[in-house]
Chain A
């Protein structure tokens, strides 16, 4: 930052008086720009929620017709964002995917994809709301009601909660037994009317319609019935265990169910 010019024409102090006027004095524009930025930033924070809504609407309209997908890179352009807590997630498919059900149940079991597909399927179309702010409207999910799998396994008396584990090796989630038995909680096999892709947590993910999307664990591989709620991965870092959309995590989004 600091340098010295070897200027041949510079004659020390004789020039200094003239220059000191131009270099060290004058309008403090720099300070004004810094303060102006801070002012604009504060105004942006205040107006942000309203501007965000307008931008969401405008970009949402454009993004649907944008073949390049570039609008998807702008903030608030809608669409899903990919979050994973591990470095890489293995792929599981027809032959090697297993969903185990165990814990406080009479009949522990394990399901292949074909077994899950053979069970009655429910379809739900709700908004997806992420706790970080993005929302994707009218997203169809299809799969087996979690309550059906719990009934098939035979939940023992004394059970209070259900813990979910994932084949990414790190993520986990929990619901109370009462929450887990809701009709809008699915073990989802399809999303947006197609098989769930690996990036979206396929082949099987949890779908908890009334809660923030971190509750809908991706890459679901284990269901364990327990005697108390064990906080999931993000919940150990401060997220609410009861993640109702609009009634938790200090947010007031419109409920999704």
Chain B
């Protein structure tokens, strides 16, 4: 599921860069093909997550990501003040915010993208606004996803956990002390 989402997000961002940056556009050309790949990878982006809803374990993770408890606020305060002592369950507050922000951003990008894809869906002012939101949010999404990759690159144990589903007790005790199940 993570891999499916990551692959689609990668395709979206890569094709967006080709559509958007003149040097890449000159290199690749084939504008119509690139547009089609971008549109389809965009609308398919929520599919892996929706498929995941069939899994009880994934639904449990979604519940965890949704709920913020006292320790999450403490975690955020500690991060903002660059202090240690950052209590977290299976997901820390940063991961929860990242998940929610990305989910919202994907929905907004899909909505504004569809407005531009099917120009007869809505009046022109909507389309201009959709283009504005789509362009600027795309830059933010690229920056946030880059941040996500950077954090992952600095934590081999977390990457191992994503690949295998298992993490060591010591790592979990240090990074996610409140995680029990």
Contact = CB atoms under 8 A, between A and B. Distances in A.
Interface of A: 1-10, 15-16, 19, 21-38, 40-41, 44-49, 51-52, 55, 73-76, 80-89, 132-133, 199, 237-238, 249-252
Given A26-B69, A30-B68, 9 more contacts: A2-B58, A16-B181, A25-B69, A37-B107, A40-B108, A48-B129, A52-B131, A237-B32, A250-B127
Contact of A30 (B99, B135, B162, B169): B99
A15 B181 CA distance: 9
B128 A7 contact: no
B43 interface: no
B169 A7 contact: yes
Tell me which of B57, B68, B132 has the highest count of chain A C-beta atoms within 10 A of its own C-beta.
B132
Nearest to A48: B129
**Which 6 A-B pairs have CB atoms at the shortest separation, nearest pair first?**
A37-B104, A48-B129, A41-B108, A75-B135, A48-B132, A33-B100
B180 interface: yes
Contact of A19 (B63, B97, B180): B180
Contacts of B139: 74-75
Given A29-B100, A33-B97, A3 B166 contact: yes
Tell me which of B21, B22, B55, B137 has the highest count of chain A C-beta atoms within 10 A of its own C-beta.
B22
Contact of B55 (A2, A30, A75, A237): A2
A144 B102 CA distance: 53
A41 B29 CA distance: 31
Given A3-B166, A89-B29, A46 B65 contact: no
17 contacts: A1-B61, A1-B162, A2-B57, A4-B165, A5-B176, A15-B180, A16-B181, A23-B63, A28-B68, A44-B137, A45-B132, A75-B132, A80-B22, A82-B22, A132-B131, A133-B128, A250-B119
Nearest to A27: B68
Interface band, chain B: 35 or more
A28 B66 contact: yes
B170 to A, nearest CB: 9
B111 interface: yes
A192 B65 CA distance: 55
B112 to A, nearest CB: 6
Contacts, number: 205
Contacts of B125: 49
A15 to B, nearest CB: 5
Contacts of B89: 19, 22-23
Contacts of B29: 84-89
B161 interface: yes
B14 interface: no
A48 B64 contact: no
Contacts of B165: 2-4
B148 interface: no
Tell me which of A40, A82, A132 has the highest count of chain B C-beta atoms within 10 A of its own C-beta.
A82
A48 B128 contact: yes
B129 to A, nearest CB: 3
Contact of B166 (A4, A34, A249): A4
Contacts of B97: 29, 33
Tell me which of A5, A25, A55 has the highest count of chain B C-beta atoms within 10 A of its own C-beta.
A5
Nearest to B164: A3
A5 B167 contact: yes
A23 B64 contact: yes
Interface in B22-43: 22, 25-26, 28-32
Contact of A16 (B90, B126, B180): B180
A83 to B, nearest CB: 5
Contacts of B181: 4-5, 10, 16, 19
